[in-house]
């Protein structure tokens, strides 16, 4: 069985040395980076992407300003409540956000992958509490709704990530656990541990 996919999501605002940290994450175990900056205009998003080494562009996914995927040959687009549709004629990978088992069941067949959240209580969003039970997630797995195309999101860290595999998730998306690391050394340690646990199936 292949290792599970690990995806990082950027913070919404500016972050010190963000291009460098994105490169570090992609070098040390993260498969894809979702760039989520809902308040940014297209020019600001363009500037961030341009500051990231071009060799990483094909592993970046945009949550907005989708036409930049062609300008920079990016990996794909991610649909959410603010961006409901991919550009007309777009043929690259498409993912989407889901917040219920029913929504996941309805949308997953048309997507390359979906995120389901919040699986655990969020690290980065105060008050964003998990509303899924073990029984609900286990049932969804047995019914084939949660599968290799389903990425867990919300409150994931090195201590709980292995639980996701028992529910059939194909990977994990993380935000707070990575960006709240106090140093590059701590971040590298966290990435190394996450990758090891993504391979221990």
Distance in angstroms (rounded) separating the CA atoms of residues 153 and 127: 15
The pLDDT of residue 199 is 86
Residue range 47-58: average pLDDT? 97
pTM of the predicted model, to two decimals? Answer: 0.95
pLDDT tens, residue by residue, 16-29: 999 999 999 999 99
Cβ contacts of residue 16 below 8 Å, gap of 6+? none
Structure tokens at 93: 């990978």
């Amino acid at each position: 069985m292949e290792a599970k996919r690990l995806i990082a999501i950027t913070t919404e605002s500016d972050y010190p040395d963000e291009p460098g940290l994105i490169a570090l994450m992609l070098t040390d175990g993260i498969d894809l980076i979702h760039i989520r900056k809902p308040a940014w205009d297209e020019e600001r998003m363009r500037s961030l992407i341009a500051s990231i080494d071009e060799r990483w562009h094909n592993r970046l996914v945009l949550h907005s300003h989708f036409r930049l995927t062609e300008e920079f040959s990016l990996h794909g687009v991610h649909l959410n409540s603010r961006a409901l549709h991919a550009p007309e004629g777009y043929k690259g990978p498409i993912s989407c956000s889901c917040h219920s088992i029913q929504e996941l069941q309805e949308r997953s067949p048309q997507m390359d992958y979906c995120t389901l959240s919040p699986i655990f209580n969020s690290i980065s969003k105060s008050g964003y509490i998990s509303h899924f039970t073990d029984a609900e997630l286990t049932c969804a797995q047995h019914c084939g709704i949660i599968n290799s195309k389903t990425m867990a999101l919300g409150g994931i860290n090195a201590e709980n990530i292995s639980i996701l595999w028992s529910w059939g998730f194909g990977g994990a998306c993380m935000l707070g656990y990575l960006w709240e690391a106090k140093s590059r050394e701590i971040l590298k340690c966290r990435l190394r541990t996450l990758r090891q646990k993504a391979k221990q199936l």
